[in-house]
Chains A and B, each alone.
Chain A
Amino acid sequence: MAGGILGTGVSGLAAAQFGLDTTGHNIANVNTDGYSRQRVETQSTVGNAFRSTFLGNGTQLASITRTFSEFNYNEVLFNTSQFNFNNTSYENAARMDNLLADPDTGITTTFEEMFDGIVGVAEEPTIISSRNVVLARAETVAKRFNALYEEIAFQHMGSVNEEIVTTVEEINEIGSEIAFLNTKIQVENAVGSEGFAPNDLLDKREQLIKELSEKLQVDTIKLDDGTVNITVGSGITLVTAGISIPMVVDRNEYDTGKLEIGVTANTGTANSVLITDQLQGGSLSSLLEVRDELLIPAIEDLGKIAMGFADSFNRQQSLGRDLEGVEGTNMFNDINDPQVVLTRTQNSANNPATTDFEVYIRNTEQVTGENFIMNYDGATLEVIDGDKNVIQTFTAADIVNMDAGERLTIGNTGLELSISINNLAAGDSFQIRPTYFGARNIERILDEPELVAAADNYFELADVNNPNNVEFSLFELEDLTDASFPSPLNVPPLPDPTLTVVVDATGTQYDVQDSTGASVIGGFTNIAPDQIIEGAGIRMKLDGILAGNESFTITHADNTLIPNENKKFGKGDNTNILTMLDFQSARVLDGGTNSFSESYADMVTTVGVETKSKEITRDSFQTLLDGAEERLAGIQGVNLDEEAANLIQYQQAYSASARIITVARETFQTLISAAG
């Protein structure tokens, strides 16, 4: 070799050069996300053997390492997932929060305005303009429900669905990039097996995994060949070595409009496995959770209130008479409209043939926003609530009856079931969602102010035998055309203007009889748990504990046999509209615990609590994430001051090494001159 000292100088120069390059690289990447600062590690070369010792002959590059902490990185990953999960939840909850509480978009203001209008009619029922006000306000209530439904079920739900689709696409994109990087890293590792890790590829992959964590909480398994396997949930693989298994956006079994997440081993295979329930953390899980826990319940709660509102006013309308003395008609469209009742059940996509059920709301007081699943095992039909409890079992005989058009009550849910088209096969499954479309369907249909039924009806009720003082009241006049309906046109002997409601000795069955004692409903019938009974086109309510053998009469007061001046129609009668006014505080929802406004207030509170708690969790994860990132940045991040110092250090080393060469040259010159 040309001379030890020169070589030593050159190696020093090279080392300083490496140092300067790396420092430059660090400075250049000061703002690169996920970049880990690199360090040049040099080692002294093994010296030349000189006599009994080694004479050092310079330095050599040991490695360029990145400063990285696996532990801190995993901490960042976890907190990223959690932060993004809560952040997305918060953002969506806050959107609902603003929507529901705003006086301009919330519903309570419209309720109050409607009741203001009702007071006007109660004051003087003959003034048409105040009746017009009630109709206009009723319209506002209906439209506000529609608008809220539109906003939540279409706008908000639409953007959530869109985000789910895009997020899944992004996840798949990231997954395939990671798989690609895995392949590259595997190759690089194999080539540079001496320990020259592909720092920047690793940084890039870690950055991608962090981006993935924003969408979904993932588990990583590092393999010896440098590749990383990525799994979600309980070991569902997204990326293994160079292969990424894409997630697919699937459809819910019952509701094709509801998106589910699935994976499929082979792209394009139809039979994907649904993994929606297994996903945790990240914005994707949050979107699914927001949809299931916030949006759908809100839609269903709104629907419940809308249906309760419409039904209460419709029933009260039916129990009154309008300005012309005619029985009132529906103010809002019927909640049990023949088309609507068909939309409340959904067939499973796995059912071989569809069976159409009709779900009727018999009592809005009992209805909740809860959904039910029905399973048919070939003989019986089981209705299961959200907590997996069987709340009703319909026998084969029941199914035959329902098929024949009979409506059977479902437990104590306020619902009735009937079958429209029967294709039941063993293994069939259905979902009942009673209130989902309630807020969409509400519509004011009463269009003439005269038709507001402010006056009382013409029925005189009397207790014949009532030891427990059970309150007997009319619930709804459902069908005025019923052959047994007590009408003034009916002339004795039959049908006649009086009906008698008789309860059996055990207080569990009732019958509706004409004046000869003949049943008009086909004999004694079971009394439902809500004690609402019906017959001859009239629905009646028994409030209280039945002692048995009760007997009540309903008489049409305008009959010619026993005319009753008390129930004579008068335009100035405001009895019925006063009952409507009572709805301002009457607890007619949620099992009799809430009024309309209160039920809505509960809904607003639920969303408010959700928003608040998500905000708090998000903020705490923000802090945790900031801390974790700061710690990671402390290790892997570039500090310009440090790099400046390094620059000076390497520059000096370079100068010194150059000096070594100069010294070598001068020494050599001196030697030449001396020789020369």
Chain B
Amino acid sequence: MTVRIATSNFYSRSLTNLQERQANLDRAQLELSTGKKILKPSDDPTGANTMIRLRKELQASDRYITSQESARRYNEVTEANLVSMNNTLFRSKELLAQSINGAMDTNALNAISAELSARGTEFFSQSNAQNANGDYIFSGYQTDVQTYTKDIFGFAEYQGDDGQRELVVGPNTRVATNDVGSDFIDSVPSDYGYFETSSDKLSIGQVTDISEYRLPSFPEGRYQIQFNATADGYDVIDVSLDPANQVIKSVSGYLAGDDIVINGISFKTNASDPPIAGETFDVNLQQTSSIDEYQINFFAAGQYNITDVNTGRVVVPDTNYVMGDTISYKGVEFSSDPNGTAPAVGDTLTFGIPTKNTNWIIQQAIDSMGDIGANFQPVANDGSKYSMDFAAPPGELLPANHPLFGATPGVTGNMQIPANAGTATLIPSSIDEASELPIGDYRLSFLDEDGDGVVDTAQMDEIDPVTGRLKPQPTGLSFQGEYVAGEPLKVAGVEFLISGVPAIGDTYEIGRPRGAERTEILSVMLDELDNAVVELENTRSSVGARLNIVDNFEVQQERFKETTSSTLAIIEEIDIYEAINNLEQSKVGLQAAQQSFAKIQNLTLFDFI
């Protein structure tokens, strides 16, 4: 039986077919013109999902690349600044090296001082570098705060924080874009460090006399300055010492604005806001370097260990001690009073490896340039000199031929030589033969050698500047000179003019010439500048490392983008040849359908009847 075909059904079916072919052609054309085979998610739902995710990845990758460019920009700005800071430091070092040369005369030193001070200003402004946006680049997060400002004493103080801003330069990878001034300008390793007090009235303390420098003793590890009732004098206390004998120095005749000097550490005071009567100041060993911080733990009676605060590791194992011992680690030394109170179990003493600000180093070097003069500096004993060498027998303060030898008042741990009875003032006039007297600290005593009750001899004994006691023989030097009233005194090649009359047993502290002190301090400053350069270089290399990371991630992200884009293209984009082929097929199909329809639809029997 033949299949009947309804005429109207024939038409509607033909129409449907034509429409379908037209839709195919339209789709082929659309794919070809857009270049995409997924035009709606329903074209390939899984592909569409992957596409959204890949696109997200690509966008994130673009952001990484944007951040990489910024990270590079910021780090390059930092590097440029570090390079110019480095140049400044190198020039400063040259100047310091020249000035150490003993042959420098005052004019030369003045010239060096002038240039060094220009370098100091330059370095200070470099420390306050700003970027194009006006942000301070070394202030950490405090970008609107000038990195360093000078306090009333002229010391540059860091005003920022230790915030390191980071950018995301790759998946889970962040790179810092700034360096914190306190990390490399402030944290210059130094053998001496600096000290802070409990009050703004005192500047930070710096070691100005290397030979007299001594840390406060443990377990407290701090000094205290106590002003008297009239605010014209002060006592200095080493808090750890036996309470009855705490005073290690007593100073009278203080005038507002004078420096306070403790064991070689000097603090500036403010003339317009001086310490008032009865005021006390605590001087702490400042833990400046948070990178290297250590803690002495007195964990049991008579025992201690030292731990690294940052890592928590024990760096000095459990050690026995008795009072009077010295605890030292990494060049930091704490002595103790044999009669002092032992630390309580559980007490700790935290100390840092001393550090210093580069600006201060340059400033101190500038200040030291003024220390000129080749003469020894005699100071009459006004009864305020103390020894704080706990273990020294009292006799060792004075030579054996001194009338008070063995009768020195005071007890172990705290000794005093009585004030001079005579009225003589020693004025150094010249050094006759420098070779005869090595540079050092001496105690000069007027003696009556022949026992006739008249001063006839002046004896200079070398002393330990820290303890004030005579250096033991044979290390300690001793020189004698004849004293004739009214004539200049000559001892060991040094000539002193004497006004007034010395009494038997009067003593004078003979400090080394200031020129020698300058040389001493400048060598230290030179070392410290070297350290400052090392810090800068370290920072530069970490900036370099960051730039390197950025480079690596740039390559990585570019590759990632490349592969992701091609994956995306495979999913999303058409194969052009296939698409053209599709278009052609669809076109031919539609044409054939149209032509056959046109032919067939004319066929009707009615045309023949």
- Spell out A's residues near B (CB within 8 Å): 30-31, 93-94, 97-98, 100-101, 108, 111-112, 115-116, 119, 122-127, 455, 565-566, 568-575, 578, 581-582, 584-585, 595, 597-598, 600-602, 604-605, 607-612, 615, 626, 629-630, 633-642, 644-645, 647-648
Contacts and interface: CB of A to CB of B under 8 A. Distances in A.
Nearest to B7: A640
A572 B56 CA distance: 28
Contact of A578 (B41, B143, B168): B168
Given A572-B135, A602-B49, A584 B60 contact: yes
B572 to A, nearest CB: 12
18 contacts: A108-B55, A108-B56, A122-B168, A570-B161, A578-B166, A585-B60, A598-B56, A601-B53, A604-B41, A607-B41, A609-B45, A626-B16, A634-B6, A637-B5, A640-B605, A641-B7, A641-B604, A647-B609
Contact of B41 (A122, A571, A572, A611): A611
B56 A633 contact: no
B43 to A, nearest CB: 8
Contact of A571 (B16, B56, B142, B166): B142
B135 A124 contact: yes
A608 B609 contact: no
Interface centre among B56, B140, B160 (most CB of A within 10 A): B56
A438 B163 CA distance: 38
A354 B9 CA distance: 59
Q: Which 3 pairs show the lowest CB-CB distances between chains A and B?
A: A637-B6, A570-B141, A608-B41
Given A119-B67, A638-B6, 14 more contacts: A116-B66, A122-B67, A122-B167, A566-B161, A570-B143, A570-B160, A570-B163, A571-B144, A578-B167, A601-B56, A607-B42, A608-B40, A626-B13, A634-B5
Contact of A572 (B3, B165, B604, B605): B165
B143 A639 contact: no
Contacts of B44: 608
B173 to A, nearest CB: 12
A115 B8 contact: no
A574 B165 contact: yes
A610 B609 CA distance: 55
A634 B3 contact: yes
A578 B164 CA distance: 12
Contacts of A455: 141
Contact of A637 (B7, B55, B163, B609): B7
B6 A636 contact: yes
Q: Which DSSP category, helix, strand, loop or mixed, fits chain A's interface?
A: helix
B163 A633 contact: no
B166 A644 contact: no
B41 A639 contact: no
B48 interface: yes
Interface residues of B, number: 54
A354 to B, nearest CB: 41
Contact of B46 (A573, A598, A605): A605
Interface string B1-37: 0011111110001001000000000000000000000
Contacts of A123: 67, 70, 167, 177
A555 B559 CA distance: 45
Interface in B151-185: 160-163, 165-168, 171, 174, 177-178
Given A598-B53, A601-B49, A97 B40 contact: yes
B63 interface: yes
Interface of B: 3-9, 13, 16, 40-46, 48-49, 52-53, 55-56, 59-60, 62-63, 66-67, 70, 133, 135, 139-145, 160-163, 165-168, 171, 174, 177-178, 604-606, 609
Contacts of B7: 30, 637-641
A636 B4 CA distance: 9
A646 to B, nearest CB: 10
A119 B66 contact: yes
Contacts of B66: 116, 119
Contacts of A605: 41, 45-46, 48-49
A526 B84 CA distance: 61
Contacts of A611: 40-42, 45
Contact of A116 (B52, B63, B171): B63
Nearest to A606: B45
B60 A572 contact: no
Contacts of B6: 633-634, 636-639
Contacts of A634: 3-6, 9
B85 to A, nearest CB: 20
Interface centre among B62, B133, B161 (most CB of A within 10 A): B161
A568 B141 contact: yes
Nearest to B50: A601
A122 B167 CA distance: 7
A578 B141 contact: no
Contacts of B62: 116
A89 B163 CA distance: 58
Nearest to A123: B70
A152 to B, nearest CB: 15
A278 B463 CA distance: 112
A641 B606 CA distance: 7
Contacts of B167: 119, 122-123, 578
Contact of B52 (A124, A600, A629, A644): A600
A27 B162 CA distance: 97
A574 B174 CA distance: 12
A298 to B, nearest CB: 12
B178 A572 contact: yes
Given A116-B63, A641-B604, A633 B8 contact: yes
A568 B142 CA distance: 9
Contacts of A584: 56, 59-60, 63
A94 B40 contact: yes
Contacts of B52: 108, 597-598, 600-601, 604
Nearest to A604: B41
Contact of B140 (A572, A602, A608, A612): A572
Contact of B609 (A609, A615, A648): A648
A596 to B, nearest CB: 9
Contacts of B45: 605, 608-609, 611-612
A638 B135 contact: no
A437 B60 CA distance: 30
Interface centre among B5, B48, B66 (most CB of A within 10 A): B48
A115 B63 contact: yes
